[in-house]
Amino acid sequence: MINAYILLTMQTGDSEKAISEMRKIENVEKISVVAGEYDIVVRVHVKSLEKLLTVTNKIQMINGVKKTTTQVIEKEISL
Amino acid sequence: MKIRRKYLFYALAFTSAIITAGVSTIDATISARYIPNPWAFGFSCFIVGIFISLIIVCIFSIPVKGRSLGSRIIDPSFKRLRLVRKEELKYHILAAVGNSILTIGYLTLLSMFGDPSTVLPFSQIAILYLILIESISEKNIPTLSEIQSSLIVTFGAILGSITLTGTITLESFAIVFLVVNPAWILFSIYQRKLKLLKIDNRPNDALNIRFWNVVFACMFTAILVGVYDLIVGTGHFIAGITASIDHFNWVALTMGITFFSYVFYIRALGIGKASVTQAVRASTVLFAIPFSLLISYFNIIPPFSTDPVMILIKIIGTTLVILGIVSFALSLVKAYVFINVKPGYPIEETMDKLWSIRGVTRVTVIAGTYDFIVKIRIRTLVKGYERIIRKLEGIEAIKKYKWESVLKEWENI
């Protein structure tokens, strides 16, 4: 299984609608609206890199998404 | 379905609290009418509990369109009933020890007071212990607001306990502080550790955790009651087995409903901090009042005092509990920190240094624009600077970092 963070930059004014679209995508585990260089951080859990590409494509197709940067998780420690 | 993590957490914790209040009423009825011996009642709960939990978990294991029923309606992590894994064993034993002692302590209090709305507030004092333990185990020093909130909940709970009986005995305080609450903490902490474990690359599920907890708690209660019988010369072991046969339906009812209360509680524990979950669940004190009025109306427990002073104390107590819960819930800051590191520093070493910072809940090594993504959970932004930024700046390997405060969050359930 592959976990990844997708960092999104949004166009002003479209985030609310875009978030509701993202919430419908399978494999999306978590959506965090953030304040900083990025606008949204999405965490995905997929079976393969090919599936990751599909999810990234779906996110890129959403109206209001300006740019995506994908960060594949190699190792993790969490509470 | 994705809902906001915060709403899911409160929905689970409040549902668990309402169910707990209802279950306490059934327990009070059984204790007053059928099984007055708390040792026998406790033991019978676990004996019957194994059968009931097994039936429930088996029903939820039935596959429906490729996914188990339990996964669809209770916990998405649940696949089917499975055996305990080696890595879970230690936590299951400790959680079961806690559950076993807690149950007998709670039923002893119930047999002393009769009224669940008096007994339940006592257990809320556990929040003080939780704050202390989180400080040690989760690298999280309690903030002033956490201490204030937990004290408000505690004082509210004590006032709530006094009002309906008018008196509090030293014996009941000893049971609360030395038996019930430490056992609850043991139970709560290790249930949370079990929920946070990954089994086959998936989060551990609440249904299997609850089922195996009942099994292990039954074994430990059998030992506890047996040893007590041998030392004191009582016959609680046999009484427990007899009670589980004679009053199977009543005990099955309470254990069946308790199963769902704990499953929701375990899921909430996997989302929020143990002390915050406990704080929300403290609302069970309020939910217990209508249930207590009901069984008082049917003369199962003595009628309530109508003394205006007692009623005023009760209102103050319940108001304090609510205030404590709200102040807990409203103060939490989360953030992501994106980090780039300098070449020539081992990744593992930097990862350990990041993990040792208080307030860090997740350290992720990534391949992409950044080298690390760190998730932070703190009470105030000031702590973000004092506790996080200053520590990050102290790590030599870090070249640059970006702080991204989380404003809203949704999670897949």
Query: With 60 as the cut, is the pLDDT of residue B140 above it?
Result: no
Query: With 70 as the cut, is the pLDDT of residue A9 above it?
Result: yes
Burial label, B280 (beta-carbon count in 10 A; 0-12, 13-18, 19+): buried
Contact list in B for residue A7 (CB cut-off 8 A) is 338, 369
User: Is the domain B333-412 a CATH 3.30.70.920 member?
Assistant: yes
Residue A39 lies in a domain: yes
Within B74-85, residue ranges assigned H as helices are none
Query: With 90 as the cut, is the pLDDT of residue B388 above it?
Result: no
pLDDT of residue A71: 92
Q: What is the DSSP string of B182-215?
A: HHHHHHHHHHHHHHHSEETTEEPPHHHHHHHHHH
What is the count of residue pairs from A and B with beta carbons less than 8 Å apart?
A: 93
Cβ count near B238 (within 10 Å): 13
Contact list in B for residue A34 (CB cut-off 8 A) is 335-336, 404-407
Query: With 70 as the cut, is the pLDDT of residue B100 above it?
Result: yes
Instruction: Average the pLDDT over each of B21-30, B97-106, B127-136, B185-194 and give the range with the smallest value.
Output: B127-136
Within B332-380, residue ranges assigned H as helices are 347-355
pLDDT of residue A67: 92
Contact list in A for residue B347 (CB cut-off 8 A) is 75
| B135 in Cβ contact with B146 (< 8 Å) | no
Interface test with B, best of A38, A46, A78 (most B CBs within 10 A): A78
Residue A79 lies in a domain: no
pLDDT of residue B326: 66
Cα–Cα distance for residue pair B229/B231, rounded to 1 Å = 6
- Cβ distance A71 to B412 less than 8 Å, yes or no, reads no
- CA distances from residue B27 to B33, B115, B216, B291, B318 in whole angstroms, order as listed: 10, 10, 21, 12, 22
| Mean pLDDT across B313-337 | 76
Largest CA-CA distance found in chain B, in angstroms, rounded: 76
Contact list in A for residue B340 (CB cut-off 8 A) is none
Residue A43 lies in a domain: yes
CB neighbour list of residue B128: distance below 8 Å, 6 or more residues apart: B150, B151, B154
Give residue-wise pLDDT tens across range B349-364.
999 899 888 788 889 9
Contact list in B for residue A71 (CB cut-off 8 A) is 366-370, 373
Residue A11 lies in a domain: yes
| Mean pLDDT across B192-197 | 80
Could you tell me which residues of chain B have a Cβ less than 8 Å from any Cβ in chain A?
2, 5, 138, 196, 201, 334-336, 338, 347, 351, 355, 361-370, 373, 375, 402-412
- Cβ distance A30 to B369 less than 8 Å, yes or no, reads no
Residue A47 lies in a domain: yes
- The pair of three-digit structure tokens given for residue B214, joined into one six-digit string: 């009942």
CA-closest candidate to residue B254, choices B41, B14, B15 = B41
Query: With 80 as the cut, is the pLDDT of residue B307 above it?
Result: no
Q: Which band of pLDDT confidence, cut at 50, 70 and 90, is reported for residue B330?
A: low
CB neighbour list of residue B122: distance below 8 Å, 6 or more residues apart: B109, B157, B161, B172, B176, B180
Query: With 80 as the cut, is the pLDDT of residue A5 above it?
Result: yes
Cα–Cα distance for residue pair B189/B89, rounded to 1 Å = 15
pLDDT of residue B89: 92
| CB contact A53 to B (< 8 Å) | no
pLDDT of residue B128: 67
| Mean pLDDT across B75-104 | 89
Cα–Cα distance for residue pair B235/B241, rounded to 1 Å = 10
| Mean pLDDT across B64-87 | 84
Q: Which band of pLDDT confidence, cut at 50, 70 and 90, is reported for residue B372?
A: very high
Cα–Cα distance for residue pair B266/B210, rounded to 1 Å = 8
The amino acid at B1: M
Mean pLDDT for chain B overall: 81
Task: Tell me the shortest Cα–Cα distance from B214 to chain A, in angstroms.
Answer: 25
Residue A13 lies in a domain: yes
State which of B2-16, B240-254, B377-391 shows the largest mean pLDDT.
B240-254
pLDDT of residue B32: 84
Nearest to A35 among B375, B404, B409 (CB): B404
Q: What CATH code is carried by the domain that includes residue A14? A: 3.30.70.920
Query: With 60 as the cut, is the pLDDT of residue B131 above it?
Result: yes
Interface test with A, best of B3, B9, B410 (most A CBs within 10 A): B410
In 3-state terms, what secondary structure has residue B64?
strand
| Residue A74 CA neighbour count, 13 Å, CB half | 11
Query: With 60 as the cut, is the pLDDT of residue B264 above it?
Result: yes
Q: Which band of pLDDT confidence, cut at 50, 70 and 90, is reported for residue B199?
A: confident
Q: What is the DSSP string of chain A?
A: -EEEEEEEEE-TT-HHHHHHHHTTSTTEEEEEEEESS-SEEEEEEESSHHHHHHHHHHHHHSTTEEEEEEEEEEEEEE-
- Residue owning tokens 């030392």: B231
Give residue-wise pLDDT tens across range B35-50.
888 889 989 999 999 9
Task: Tell me the shortest Cα–Cα distance from A71 to chain B, in angstroms.
Answer: 5
- Determine phi and psi for B300, rounding to 5 degrees: -80, -35
Whole-complex ipTM: 0.91
Residue A77 lies in a domain: no
What end-to-end distance do the CA atoms of chain B give, in Å? 6
pLDDT of residue B132: 66
Q: How many domains does chain A have?
A: 1
Within B114-125, residue ranges assigned H as helices are 116-123
- Cβ distance B370 to A41 less than 8 Å, yes or no, reads no
Nearest to B404 among A23, A28, A38 (CB): A38
| Mean pLDDT across B112-141 | 65
Burial label, B389 (beta-carbon count in 10 A; 0-12, 13-18, 19+): middle
- Closest chain A residue to B192 measured between Cα atoms? A79
Q: State the pairing for strand pair B333-341/B398-412.
A: antiparallel
Q: Which band of pLDDT confidence, cut at 50, 70 and 90, is reported for residue B174?
A: confident
> Please, what sign has the CA dihedral across residues A33, A38, A43, A47?
positive
Residue A78 lies in a domain: no
Query: With 90 as the cut, is the pLDDT of residue B213 above it?
Result: yes
- Cβ distance B407 to A35 less than 8 Å, yes or no, reads yes
| Mean pLDDT across B170-179 | 78
pLDDT of residue B371: 93
- Determine phi and psi for B370, rounding to 5 degrees: -110, 170
Q: In chain B, where are the structural domains located?
A: 2-329, 333-412
| CB contact A2 to B (< 8 Å) | no
| CB contact A32 to B (< 8 Å) | yes
Interface test with B, best of A34, A37, A48, A59 (most B CBs within 10 A): A34
Give kind and range of the element (H or E) at residue B4.
strand B2-4
CA-closest candidate to residue B349, choices B372, B369, B368 = B372
Contact list in B for residue A75 (CB cut-off 8 A) is 347, 351, 364-365
pLDDT of residue B73: 77
Query: With 70 as the cut, is the pLDDT of residue B5 above it?
Result: no
Contact list in B for residue A40 (CB cut-off 8 A) is none
Domain, as residue range, for A18: 2-72
CA dihedral B290, B292, B297, B302 (to 10 degrees): -150
Task: Tell me the shortest Cα–Cα distance from A5 to chain B, in angstroms.
Answer: 9
Contact list in A for residue B355 (CB cut-off 8 A) is 77
Give residue-wise pLDDT tens across range A35-53.
989 999 999 999 899 999 9
